[in-house]
Chain A
């Protein structure tokens, strides 16, 4: 509001700075927790004893433990990721959004009550997460581990946040929306969409559920969500924060408004398509892999648009880089953003992914984003906000500078050591003997080789944590030296301000929208139409692109005017964002989830689990085994040589949730079943080092002490049946009897091999073989062994008739069932090995 007009009234507003202040404090508190857990589990990768056995050494043997289940890597890693993303960055994002939105809208937040509910609701969710994850209550999907009652809370609180935000936009005193607000809008809309779709599930109890998607469908939905959690939870809101706080701190105008427009829209549109790059060379249909890879490459420039706009805003203010810690943090944060958004497209190339995927390179890549970009943006913002929140000076600029340096060194150590670790391990895993027929290195040898690098990484993380603790001290002292105040400001209210007046017709009926719509429409047809028609669609798309360029050159002023109008109307703007973010997911997911599962099996169909195996699978998920073990043999020679024939789609088609994994800290388990003896697994779970002295896997003694929950099985199987898994029809009694019988068989084999039973202190030792068998049959370890021995079991089915023998054929996008020729025959029903079970037709 630059020009004064006599018709406007002066009003005094007080911003609600309490909400962002509290969010900032929460972010700092949870940040310490998240990083502490991160450091702990980083050391566990070197020294498995950090899972609790370490107390034995620390107390000189007074405290006896082979490991505490709540402290194992598999349970704490989800806690670390969830805390870092949703507690640390989440609260930081809310602080930035609440602070800047009020000022960019020149109004107090719409409702203090909603702000309060949002704040306390979010903290309550985090507390529940911090309790449930170590307790082993998990959905088994990365960054989506929280159990379904907590999911519902998240949805409610997110809606509260959205209401509060959009109603604040509605009552704004500014005519148009600043670019930061565009990014906030995109965040709120997209996170809601991603979260809801990826959390569709059917509960089997108050704390357990199965996701509605299985196998490849679940994989695709999960990484559409997982990738865009990075995009729309860790990137877009932080870009919005950058667009507000960077020019504020530097006191310089933003570099380029039109760059803001182009990079915002290209970013939100393209990001959504890139999810499949997490599944390269897997069983995911090839067309999706290629699509994910190419869109990731196209994402490079839009991401760098944000970096350019951030860094070049500092032109004329570079001298502040020497004196102002806030600017230092921002500059390094944006630089790391640029680095990791270059690394991302690079890693999305299928041949690069072949080496890097499942190794620590990916972990390093993620952390250059979270520690560098998110963590340093947070630090810069906190150092800028604290003196304003408490109307005082920052307690110590020197300490903040020290935080900056120790943090930077920490990140560099962390990222560099994981580059080396990832590449070294990747190369070692692929190394063959001169004949090219056999691999040279055992898996554990490759883990052993990178130990020093893993230790360096843990030390780098520790340094980063130390720096963050300095921030805690600095902010605390700053707060102590001042007094919490809410900023008051005199603004002019113009009742005639021309905002939110655009007619919907004007929003959609214009050249930019029409040309974009038809261009995209034919572009998508180009993916799906049969040869011939698709060529035409491509030509039409290119025609529209050329025509749009011509119209834009001719009518630049009209197009610019239209965009200015849109950014003065928050609802039309929001609707356009919704459309932009829906398209990518729709094109990738709808074909895959509407294709009948029978058409998705390729030549193999997974054998359905027995009740005991299902119970074992739930233990496997609950212990977080998927955090270190994948179940996906890629279509790569070294993978096949090491783990066996490559995984087919059909081999995980009944897996709710899928367990393809994203990191191999241990070897792949897709074909583990039937390779080793039951007693090998038994001894290995109790103490991996008995069989593999170099192993870093923790001991799982409690698996031989905790009881399998046979009573829950009928409910779980009922849910699986509803999801379309062809479990045979059994009464609850039959289910339990069948599970117990299979458990007795396995326990019998173990007892015959005279295994030792680590009975819990106070429990009765079994005195004879029958008692030992009965005891073991009831424990979780037997259920897990049953599950492990089933991995990789399949029935061969006839491959579906190929209607189009000319190339390209099998790599074409999936076509919905209705449009397909009917399959020749239903796939063979999986036969059940157990005698007491009758097999039913699905």
Chain B
């Protein structure tokens, strides 16, 4: 290079001085060059594999669709097994079993109490909460245990003024436990 002067230990310092600042002209560190080259080579190879070979078999959408389909299949089977084993009577029976109602209570307090109130009255210190009261005998969508199970699973028919579907967040057995807890709180007639 035209501007260089050799110094004793082979490191060159450039002739030009800027406001007192000088510059060495050291060789680029090998490990640094290697890092630069390897990322560039990686780019060429990886892009080639992505777009010019048949190796990547699935697009993002195909992959996620397949994964979700498996999960949905599992959930469906789970629900069907659960429903097959349930009846109005068995749910009633569960509501007398403290292990089920206890588990249901815990779920109710984290997921449901925000709208239906801790005491199922849908009131918080006199303020009306968005949910309907569950401690009276009035059932807007049917009061049979399986009907309650259905409304919890699938949500209100008109979502703009009703409850969300809980099947995305709760398993069928958890829903059954919540229903058993609600049933256990019913005024006995």
Contact = CB atoms under 8 A, between A and B. Distances in A.
Contact of B170 (A176, A438, A807): A438
Contact of A266 (B15, B36, B63, B164): B36
Among A2, A100, A104, A677, chain B packs the most CB atoms within 10 A around the CB of A677
Interface stretch (B84-92, B96-104, B124-132, B144-152): B124-132
B2 A560 contact: yes
A824 B134 CA distance: 53
A540 B68 CA distance: 43
Interface string A255-266: 111111010001
Given A298-B43, A637-B67, A637-B71, A789 B2 contact: no
Contacts of B36: 262, 266, 298, 301-302
A72 B170 CA distance: 34
Interface string A736-767: 00000000000001000111100000000000
A254 B43 contact: no
B122 to A, nearest CB: 11
B2 to A, nearest CB: 6
A534 B16 CA distance: 46
6 contacts: A100-B19, A435-B78, A437-B78, A538-B52, A637-B64, A807-B56
B51 A808 contact: yes
Contact of A255 (B2, B24, B114, B124): B24
B160 A646 contact: no
A310 to B, nearest CB: 13
Nearest to B162: A677
Nearest to A290: B50
B169 A290 contact: no
Interface stretch (A467-475, A476-484, A678-686): A678-686
Contacts, number: 204
Contact of B21 (A254, A256, A809): A254
A807 B57 contact: yes
A806 B24 CA distance: 55
A301 B161 contact: no
Interface string B18-60: 1111111111110011011001101110111011101011011
A549 B19 CA distance: 35
B61 A789 contact: no
Given A254-B23, A281-B60, A290-B47, A259 B52 contact: no
A329 to B, nearest CB: 19
Given A298-B40, A641-B168, A675-B159, A680 B60 contact: no
Contacts of B159: 674-677
B160 A789 contact: yes
Interface in A643-696: 644, 646, 674-680, 683, 690-693
Interface residues of A, number: 91
Nearest to A266: B36
A281 B63 CA distance: 12
B185 interface: no
Contact of B42 (A294, A789, A810): A294
Contacts of B28: 256, 258-259, 262
A531 interface: yes
B184 interface: no
A304 B36 CA distance: 10
A257 B114 contact: no
Contacts of B127: 690, 756
Contacts of B188: none
Contacts of A754: 128
Given A1-B17, A294-B43, A433 B57 contact: no
A294 B59 CA distance: 18
A281 B17 CA distance: 49
Interface string A399-429: 0000000000000000000000000000000
A771 interface: no
A258 B59 CA distance: 42
B23 A753 contact: no
A812 B51 contact: yes
A452 interface: no
Contacts of A644: 168
Contact of A254 (B22, B27, B163): B22
Given A253-B21, A260-B23, A305-B32, A636 B74 contact: no
B115 to A, nearest CB: 7
A269 to B, nearest CB: 12
A308 B50 CA distance: 33
B171 interface: yes
Given A302-B36, A677-B162, A749-B160, A636 B19 contact: no
A117 interface: no
Interface string A102-139: 01101000000000000000000000000000000000
Interface string B138-178: 00000000000000000000011111100011110000000
A641 B71 contact: yes
Among B27, B32, B169, chain A packs the most CB atoms within 10 A around the CB of B32
A747 to B, nearest CB: 13
Contact of A646 (B13, B25, B40, B64): B64
A549 to B, nearest CB: 11
A256 B48 contact: no
A256 B17 contact: no
A439 interface: yes
A331 B183 CA distance: 68
B25 A257 contact: yes
A294 B61 contact: no
Interface string A802-840: 000011111110000000000000000000000000000
B145 to A, nearest CB: 23
A353 to B, nearest CB: 13
